[in-house]
Amino acid sequence: MRIVVAGAGLAGWRAAEALRAEGFRGDLVVAGAEAHRPYDRPPLSKGLLTGATGESTLALSDSDTEVTWRLGNPVAALRGRTVVLEDGEELDFTGLVIATGATPVVPAGLNRPPGVHVLRTLDDARALRADLTGRVLVLGAGFIGCELASTCRDLGLGVAVADPLPHPLVRVLGEDVARRVERLHRERGVRWLLGTQVVRFLGTDRVTGAVLSDGRVVRADVVVIATGVRPATGWLAGSGIDVSGGVRCDEYLRVLDESGAVVPGVVAAGDVARWTHPLLGAPVRVEHWTTAALGAAAAARTLLHGPQTPFDAVPSFWSDQCGLRIQGVGLPGRGEHVELVHGDLAGDKFVARYSAGGRHVGSVAFGLPRQLALERRRLTSA
Amino acid sequence: MNVEVDPVLCESHGQCEFAAPEVFSLDDEAVLHIDHGSVASLREAVHRAARACPTRAIRIAE
C-alpha cells in the first residue's frame, strides 16, 4: 500500500498529516518541486521580506508524521497507477493526492533583464529580499501585488504598481471597496499606474525601468511580476484527467477524467483543484490558504474512507496591507450590489456585504474580524 | 481532550469561531475566548478549527 502526495506545499503537507491521523499505515511519499520541506507561504510577501518573520517559523512539517520525502524532484508524469518523478524514479501507488499548486504567470513576450522577479516560493522570496532596494515596480494589483507595495513602504522603498484594471483588487472586492484600497495605499505613498501595463523592460545587465502601454516610462531598480498564477497541471498531460481550469474534482474532491468519470483512488486539493462546490453550485478553484488547509484534510478522508462528506468550506481569505487586515468570505467578486453593514468606507473599519440576484454571496471586512465571523455564519445559513 | 491557544501566535482571524462557535469566540475587542466545557463533545469541530487557524495557534492535547 502506497499513497503518493504530489506537491509539498500547504495542501500536500496537510493531506499527508491527515492520512496518518486517519490511520493510514502504508508507505507515504510526498514529492515536491522545491528543495524545501513544506512551509507557509503567506509571510513571503510580508514579514519575510521585512525581517519581521524569521524563516524558521515558516516550517509546517514535524517529525512526528512519518513521511518519505522526495524533494527538489517534481512530479513529471502520471501513467496509469504510476507517478514518474523528474529524475526518472517511478512510484506505483494505490492512492494519489494531487496537490501541485500553482505557478506564476508571466505576461507573454516580456523581456526579463536581471532584477525582474516573481514571488511564489521561498527561494523567490530570498532572491527578492537580497535584491530589494531603491525604486520598486510591481506588476499586478492583486493580493500579492498590494501586499508587496505595502511591504516596500514599510521598508522605506519607493513603489509603483501597474495593472490593466482601473482599481486594485477590483475583481475580488468590487469597485467601491477597491477604491478604498487604492486610497489606503496612495495615502502611504504607493504610486498607482492603473489602466496600464508594462510592454517592455528597460536595461540589459540590470533592469532600469519599464515602458507602459500608454507610452510612459517608469524608472525602477527592482521589478516584481505578480500577475497571478495558473494551476500546475502540465505533468498531467496525456493522463486522461480533466485539467480544464484546474484538476476537475467532484464535491468529494475525487478527481474526474475527461469523460467526467471518477478516477479511482485519486483526489486533489489546494490551488490546483477545481471542484463542484455544494453550496456555490458551480465548479470553483480557490487560491486561498484556508481552502488548501481544509480541502487537503477532506481529500485525505475521501481517499481513505470513500465519498462521505462533500467539501463545502466557504472560500475565506485575509490580506494584511498598510497595517490593516482585510478579510473576506464567500465570493464577493460575484456581487452585483454592495451594502455597508458596519462603519463606512471613509474609515478603517467597516464590513461590506455583497449580493447578487437578491442573495448574499460574500462579505468583506476591514479590521473587524468578529463582525466577519458573524457574516460568515449568515452566509452559510442563508 | 484539552485545547489551548497560543496568545502570541493568535491574530484574531476568527476562523476558529466559524469552525466551532460553541467553543471559540472573539469579543468586541477581538480577544479570543474558549469554552473548555464544550470541547469534549465537539472534537471534530475543534480539530477543524485548529486546521483552519492561519497562524497555527491552536494546540490540541488528546
Mean pLDDT value of segment A49-64? 92
Give chain A's radius of gyration (CA, Å): 21
Partner-chain contact B30 A369, CB within 8 Å: yes
Contact B14 A377 (CB under 8 A): no
Q: Would you say A104 and A274 are in contact if contact means Cβ atoms under 8 Å apart? A: no
Determine if the pTM surpasses 0.80.
yes
Q: How far is Cα A374 from Cα A378, in angstroms, rounded to an integer? A: 6
Nearest to B52 among A294, A369, A377 (CB): A294
SS3 A228: coil
HEC per residue, A295-346: HHHHHHHHHHHCCCCCCCCCCEEEEEECCEEEEEEECHHHCCEEEEEEECCC
Question: Dihedral through CA A182, CA A148, CA A353, CA A359, nearest 10?
Answer: 110
- B26 close contact with A: CB closer than 8 A: yes
B26, B48, B56: residue with CB nearest A369: B26
**A286: closest CA of chain B, how far (Å):** 15
B18 interfaces chain A, CB cutoff of 8 Å:
yes
Q: Are strands A209-212 and A198-202 parallel, antiparallel or unpaired?
A: antiparallel
Nearest Cβ partner for B52 among A293, A325, A370: A293
Rounded to an integer, the average pLDDT of B15-20 is 92
Q: How far is B37 from chain A (nearest CA, A)?
A: 22
Q: Which residue of A has its CA nearest to B18?
A: A373
- Residues of A within 8 A of B52 (CB-CB) are 290, 293-294
Q: What is the rounded average pLDDT of the residues A158-173? A: 98
Residue A377, helix vs strand vs coil:
helix
Listed in sequence order, the residues at least 6 apart from A130 whose beta carbon sits closer than 8 Å to its beta carbon are none
pLDDT surpassing 70 at residue A378: yes
Q: Does B51 touch chain A if contact means CB atoms closer than 8 Å?
A: yes
pLDDT at A29 over 70: yes
Most A-contacting residue of B15, B53, B56 (CB-CB within 10 A), to test interface? B15
Res. A160: pLDDT tops 90: yes
Percent of chain A's residues with pLDDT above 70: 100
Q: Tens of pLDDT along A191-237?
A: 999 999 999 999 999 999 999 999 999 999 999 999 999 999 999 99
**pLDDT grade for B30, boundaries at 50, 70 and 90:** confident
> Cell numbers at residue A315, please?
472560500
Inter-chain CB proximity B15 and A370 less than 8 Å: no
Quickly state the pLDDT bin for A382 (edges 50, 70, 90): low
Mean pLDDT of A119-140: 98
Which of A290, A327, A368, A371 to substitute to test the interface with B, most B CBs within 10 Å? A290
Q: Which residues contact A34 (CB under 8 A, 6 or more apart)?
A: A8, A71, A72, A121, A122, A123
Chain A residues near any Cβ of chain B (below 8 Å): 14, 40, 42, 289-290, 293-294, 297, 316, 318, 325, 327, 369-370, 372-373, 376-377
Cell digits of residue A173: 472586492
Per-residue model confidence (pLDDT) at position A80: 96
- Distances in Å between the alpha carbon of A155 and those of A136, A171, A302? 11, 28, 45
A92-101, B29-38, B41-50 — most confident range = A92-101
Query: Is residue A124 exposed (0-12), middle (13-18) or buried (19+ Cβ within 10 Å)?
Result: middle
Provide the percentage of residues in chain A whose pLDDT is more than 90.
Answer: 95
User: C-alpha cell of A305?
Assistant: 474512507
Query: Residue A118 in contact with residue A127, Cβ under 8 Å?
Result: no
Closest Cβ opposite residue A294 in set B21, B51, B56? B51
Residue of B18, B27, B48 lying closest to A377 (CB–CB): B18
Please report the pLDDT score of residue A204 as a whole number.
Answer: 95
Residue listed under C-alpha cell 526518472: A88
Looking at CA atoms only, how far is residue A272 from chain B in angstroms?
A: 19
At A48 the three-state DSSP class reads helix
Go through A127-155 and write b for each residue having 16 or more CB atoms within 10 A of its CB, e for each that does not: ebeebbeebbbbbbbbbbbbbbbbbbbbe
Residue closest to A292 by CA, chosen among B7, B54, B12? B54
For residue A314, what is the nearest residue in chain B, using CA coordinates? B18
Chain centroid to CA A293 = 12
Instruction: Decide if pLDDT at B40 tops 80.
Output: yes
The whole-number pLDDT of residue A62 equals 85
Tell how far CA A124 is from the center of its chain. Answer: 15
> How far apart are alpha carbons B8 and A85 in whole angstroms?
40
Q: Which residues of A touch B17 (CB under 8 A)?
A: 370, 373
A377 contacts in chain B (CB < 8 Å) = 18, 21
pLDDT digits (tens, 9 = 90+) for A268-323: 999 999 999 998 878 999 999 999 999 999 999 999 999 999 999 999 999 999 99
pLDDT averaged over chain A? 96
Average pLDDT over residues A239-249: 98
- Mean pLDDT across the stretch B26-40? 89
